Amino acid sequence: MSAQVPLTLKAQRPCRYCASRKQGCDRLLPTCSRCTSKSLKCNYSVSRDGHAITLQNKAPVQNSDLVEFRGSCSPDLSTKGESLLFRLVCDSDRQDAEYDGPSLSELLLKILGAFDIDIPNLLDSYLASVHRWLPVLREEHIRQKCAHLENDDHGDVARLLLTLYVVVQFPCDHAAHSMNTRLYRTLKRLFVITQSSPGIKDLDILQYGLLLGAYECSQGLESAYDTLNHCVSLARMVEVQSYKSNDLDSKDPKERLLCGYALVALDRLIALSSMDYCLPLLLPDPQSFPLIEEHDLELDEKLKAYGYTGRMRITATVARLVSDTMAFLRCCQLGRTQQADYVAVDSSAQASLGKLLRLSEDKAFLNCEPTSMAISALMALRSSHDRRRSGPRDSKDATALWSIASMTLEMCLSASEFIRYHGIENLSFIGLCCVWRAALPLVSLKEFQISAQELETLRSELQRFSSCWAIGVTFLQQFDQLVYLRNF
């Protein structure tokens, strides 16, 4: 008896996916090998006019079309690159979308190449700067992903690299070039589309959003609050989905914790760095914190700064402690009734700062982000209370106000001296932002003595801060106005 020959069924035409990209199709039924390997829906149907869809790529996308060069300043994404990315993302769920061009991952890689990004140098720059104060990514994971960039079928790694390219940028000297670049705006919109799309929410998307939120905050963009709102919602969905699937340990637990800590820290920083303190906290109490345990952020002797996780936890711990202060400030600004009186809020903030300073005597790592945030919040609270008084200062209030003002001035001058010797580029934005935000209510106190030389020192270092992070420009403008008013 003759051997049986396996029966192979084939379609009469190539599938839409292969035809649209002019790639060879083995026409196997029910799905071709290429679509099977990519987990795509294989479609052999024809268009309405009865012909198979075979899109012609008459005008291949050139790298030079994707980037807008701006002389000696950093390049930006072109309007064509922006348009192509939007079209691909919006059609990403439609495998039969009639798009004439590269896939999303291919386009992102093309854009990456068009910017002529040196990936090892980019990673080194990110790890030496932003990663130090917002370590939401694990270094070994980033390097591992970038080592296999050719396997980036969905463009996630290329998108991450473009985001890192954005967040390490400093303001340029060209007046017409803001930090609200087209590349940043496009990446932000891609994040919003991805975050709001149906399906499983991945921690990678949250990390992507947190980096964008940190960039927006540091560059003084109002969209920071909106981005953080999306991140909080996304973090809660990630947490719920993990719980429902019993998958809490599938992702690196340290990365989950770091994202949770970053959410709390950014929530307080965005509110504290605003000019009017009117933004409500998105995470007002520990019960609302996603991805971290309710009692994980306690200020006690057990605090340790082992690696980035430990330092980020300390920052988040102090961020939790300033919640009542920020809520009280907002109510005062909006003329609303406070749930707690000033004395109670001030006493609690003073007690937290005192405990923090006692711990700092033995633990030098507590002297940067945590301490500056606590001092900045208390300086804002007491100066705001002083402005609202209707009569002479109470002696106790005056003593407390001069105490925090003296502490703030010492902090600012110490930071200035440190920066002059060590530079500013790789220092913590969170710590420095809190330092220079505290300088504004300090300078507003006309009766508090600050010498002309000290004012000049503060202004010089604030100007240096603004050369790295554009939010400093807003601080500097306010500083100049307050110094002007001190003379009248």
Q: Show the tokens assigned to 268.
A: 């307080």
Indicate whether 212 pLDDT > 80: yes
Amino acid at position 453, single letter: Q
Do 166 and 145 meet the contact criterion of CB atoms below 8 Å apart? no
DSSP 155: S
pLDDT value for 45: 59
Nearest in space to 200 (alpha carbons), one of 160, 240, 228, 229: 240
- Residues 56-78: what's their mean pLDDT? 72
Q: What is the pLDDT of residue 103?
A: 80
Q: Tens digits of per-residue pLDDT, 334-370?
A: 988 877 899 999 999 999 999 988 887 765 554 578 8
Residue 37's pLDDT band, with cuts at 50, 70 and 90, is confident
Report which of residues 133 and 172 the model is more confident about: 133
**Residues 439-459: what's their mean pLDDT?**
96
- What is the full DSSP assignment across 316-356? HHHHHHTHHHHHHHHHHHHTPPPSS-HHHHHHHHHHHHHHH
Note whether 328 and 280 are within 8 A (CB).
no
**The CA-based dihedral angle spanning residues 73, 79, 85, 88, taken in that order and rounded to the nearest 10 degrees:** -170
Give the pLDDT band of residue 65 (cuts 50, 70, 90): confident
Mean pLDDT of 19-24: 68
Name the pLDDT band for 48 (thresholds 50, 70, 90).
very low
Report the mean per-residue pLDDT for the chain.
Answer: 85
- At residue 173, the pLDDT reads 74
Whether 266 and 213 have beta carbons less than 8 Å apart is answered as yes
Instruction: Return the minimum-mean-pLDDT range out of 248-257, 286-295, 397-406.
Output: 248-257
| Average pLDDT of the segment spanning 262-276 | 96
Share of the chain above pLDDT 70, in %: 86
CB 170 within 8 A of CB 191: no
- pLDDT at position 73, please? 80
* pLDDT given at position 434: 97
* pTM for this predicted structure: 0.84
State the distance between the two ends of the chain, measured CA to CA, in whole angstroms. 111
User: Strand 73-77 to strand 67-70: parallel, antiparallel, or no bridges (unpaired)?
Assistant: antiparallel
Query: Nearest Cα to 184, choosing from 153, 209, 150, 149?
Result: 209
Can you tell me the mean pLDDT for 105-124? 91
Q: If you average pLDDT over residues 442-470, what whole number do you get?
A: 96
User: What confidence score (pLDDT) does residue 8 get?
Assistant: 58
CA distances from 368 to 201, 297, 363, 438 (A): 34, 18, 11, 14
pLDDT at 88: 81
**Given this model, what pLDDT does residue 87 score?**
83
Mean pLDDT is lowest, of 154-158, 277-281, 465-469, for 154-158
